[in-house]
Every structure is written in structure tokens, then in C-alpha cells.
Amino acid sequence: MKATDEATAARIPWNKGKLTGQKPPLKLKEIWAIRIRLQLSASVRDLAMFNLAIDSKLRACDLTRLRVCDVCHGQHVASRATIMQQKTQRPVQFEITEQTQDSVEAWIKSAALAPTDFLFPSRLRESPHISTRQYSRVVHRWIASIGLDDTAYGTHTMRRTKASLIYRRTKNLRAVQLLLGHTKLDYLPRGTMSRDARD
């Protein structure tokens, strides 16, 4: 009984000392700051991943499982792609901007990836593609590289960034919810981005 009490007392909560809740999106100047750093450091994979994460607005679990054929038509990256979301089992379509197309094509060529290959293969033998945990570490590295407090940001930051920019321009919350592939399209109080912000 005493040993059980000691084990319970020694257990540390997973969120002790961590900021929890909604992760803020990146601002336009922060996007460009990260993009320029990645270009200057010739991080071909990270630049492709960063650009695609913003354009696709995908959850980390969906982004890390993308295959080359999901975003390519033949030898070229398509301007639009549709994938089935793991969480909702519903298809979501997203636009791939010219800048992202160029960076993803450069990554595919440099890594010599085949159409059936995962777009972001893992460097570890145990996993065929990068894990969400590896992706999270990469995101924190991007955030810290421009002097922001990386504990306030996470992978959901990447998902919310383009949506927040569109919302600021249009003030159309329903369009943003559709872009994010949310299944619940109920309206929210003004100023909120999404009820389902922790998905």
C-alpha cells in the first residue's frame, strides 16, 4: 500500500509547466521570416513541409502520411489536391500555391521519391514516414528560429495559419470551417476561429 502511495505521489502531470489550449496562428511577417531562414539554410525538405503545412491546413496526422501521388499529377505537383482525413474520414480539398509547388517539386527531386513513396519519409527505420512527434519537434524548431517562444505554438499553429489569414480578409467563418474540413459547421461567437480548435 505504501509503495502504491509513493508511486502515485511521484507521478508528474503531463501538462505540468506547459502552456495548453489553443495555439496561435503565425502572422504573415512570421511566415516570411521562417520561409527566408529555410531558404537561406537550403533546408529543402523543411521548406517543402512548411509551405505545404500552411497551404493544406491539414492536421499533423494527415500531413505526415501524405504520399507523393497525393499531391502530384505525373511529374508535377498539382495546383489542387484532395485527401481523406484520418480523424473525420471525410475528403478535404486544398489549393497548392505556385511557391509551394516549386518547393515540393524540389524536395521530391532531391530525395528521389517515387509516386508511391511517403512525401516526408522518416530517417528512422522503424517508421516509413515522419511521426507526428517528429513533425512537432520540427515545428518548434521553426518557431524558435525566428525568436518566438516555441512553447506557445504547436502543429495546430500550422493548420490554423492560412485559415486565420483568410478569416481576417473575408470575415467568413463558414468558409474557414469548410476549408479546415470541420464536420460541425455551427456558427461561433464573433472573434473565435473555431470551436474544434484542439482537433
Query: What are the sequence ranges of the domains in the chain?
Result: 24-179
Over residues 10-40, the pLDDT tens digits come to: 777 655 555 455 788 999 999 999 999 999 9
Residue 164: predicted pLDDT: 79
Range list of H helices, 25-172? 28-40, 44-56, 60-63, 68-71, 98-111, 132-145, 155-170
What does CATH list as the number for 24-179?
1.10.443.10
Residue 197: predicted pLDDT: 39
Lowest mean pLDDT among 1-5, 70-74, 181-185, 193-197: 193-197
The whole-number average pLDDT for the span 67-75 is: 93
77 — phi, psi (to 5°)? Answer: -75, 130
The whole-number average pLDDT for the span 87-97 is: 90
